[in-house]
Amino acid sequence: MDEALLRSLTPAVIGILVRRGADFAAAEDAVQGSLLEALRVWPDAPPRDPKPWLVKVAWRKFIDATRADASRRRREERVEAEPSPGAGGATDDTLQLYFLCAHPSLTPASAVALTLRAVGGLTTRQIAQAYLVPEATMAQRISRAKRTVADVRFDQNGDVATVVRVLYLVFNEGYSGDVDLAAEAIRLTRQLTTLTDHPEVAGLLALMLLHHARRAARTRPDGSLVPLVDQDRSRWDTALIAEGVDVLQTALARDRLGEFQAQAAIAALHADAPRAEETDWVQIVEWYDELVRLTDSPIARLNRAVAVGEADGPQAGLRALVGLDTALPRYTAVSAYLHERSGDLATAARLYVDAAAAASNLAERDHLTRQAARLNAALQG
C-alpha cells in the first residue's frame, strides 16, 4: 500500500468535492473515509487509476452523509446525481486548498493542524502524536478550524506568504512520534512549487533542504545537541545541499528577494564551508543585513550579532546586541557565547546558567548546562 500516494492525492480529491458543492468540512471528512476504504481494499484489489477511485468513493460517502443529515435536505436535491468519476478533475484545486488551510482567520496552530490533515493527508491521531497532545484535543482544534473556514469561498485568492509561513512552522516542529514533520513539510513545499512560481516558495524549499541536510550531524547518539561549529560535516547530506543551492540560485535569479531566500542564502554559505573556520562570515553578515532590511526581525538582529562576532570579533558582536530586548529567545545564550569568545569566562558561565534555566526544551537546556559546567571547571582549574 503506497501511503505516500494517498497523501499526495488527498488535496486534489478534496478540491474536486468542494467544486461539486460539498462544504470544506464535509468534503474533508468524506475524503478521509475514502482513504480508510483504500487502505482496506487496495492491497487485494488496487485500482488502475487511484484518483478517480478516491473521488468516486469520497463522493458516495459525502452523499450518504448528506442523506443522513436532515438539515441538508435541500443540498441533497442539488447533489443527488453522481457525476462521472473524471468530472471536475481537470482543475487542480490543491493551491486553493493550501490557501484555505492557511487562512488568516486561523491561529497558526490551527492552520498547521488543518494543513497537515487536509493537504498532508495525515490522520488526526498522527497529528496529535506529532504535537504530543491527546487525540481528542487535536480533533477539537481541527473541528474549530473547519468551522472557521466553512464560509470562505473556495475560489477566493489566498496569500502565498501565509501558506509559506505555515509550512515553515510545520518544518520547525521537526520529528516527533511516528510522523517526521520536517520531511512532511519538505514534501508539501515541493508540491507547492509545482503549483506556483512564487520565489519565496522556492526560497523556503531551499532553506528546508539545506537545514535538513545537516540533520544526521545535529545530535549525538544520546540525543544531546551538537553545535554547528562542532558538527561532523562528512555526515551532511551533499545531495540535499546541492539541490537546495540549485533551487536557491534559480529563485535569486528572479531578483524578487524575500526573507526565506535570504535565510537560505545564509544556510548555503554554512553548507559551502568544508570546515567551520572556513565559513565566509563577512558574506553571512551581509545577508543578515538584507534579512533585517526585509523583516526588521529582532531574531534576525540577534543572529546577526553572532555573525558580526565571528566576522569582526566578539566585542563587535556584543555591541551589535545593544538595543535588543534581553527577553528574546536565545538572547542570553548568544550573550554568553560572545562573552566567552571575548575571554570573560566568569560572565559567560553565569549567563549560560541563566540561559539554561530559560531554555525551551530539554536538549537545549542540557547543552547550555554543560557549557556552564565546562567554563566553571576551567575557572576553578
* pLDDT tens digits along 69-96: 644 454 445 444 455 444 444 445 788 8
The pLDDT tens digits of the residues spanning 299-335 come to: 999 999 999 999 999 999 999 999 999 999 999 999 9
Higher pLDDT, 77 or 283: 283
E strands, the chain, are 175-176, 179-180
Res 175: pLDDT: 61
The pLDDT tens digits of the residues spanning 347-357 come to: 999 999 999 99
Res 20: pLDDT: 85
Residue 175 pairs in a beta bridge with: 180
Contact status, residue 308 vs residue 316, Cβ threshold 8 Å: yes
Q: Which three cell numbers stand for residue 9?
A: 492525492
Contact status, residue 185 vs residue 160, Cβ threshold 8 Å: no
Could you tell me the pTM of the whole model? 0.81
Q: What are the backbone dihedrals phi and psi of residue 219, each rounded to the nearest 5 degrees, phi first?
A: -135, 155
Q: How far apart are CA 144 and CA 149, in angstroms?
A: 9
Query: What is the pLDDT averaged over residues 127-138?
Result: 88
Where are the domains positioned within the chain? 1-92, 93-196, 197-272
Average pLDDT, the chain: 88
C-alpha radius of gyration, the chain, whole number: 24
Q: Identify the three-state secondary structure at position 208.
A: helix
Res 150: pLDDT: 83
Q: Which amino acid is at 280?
A: D
Query: What is the pLDDT averaged over residues 350-372?
Result: 94
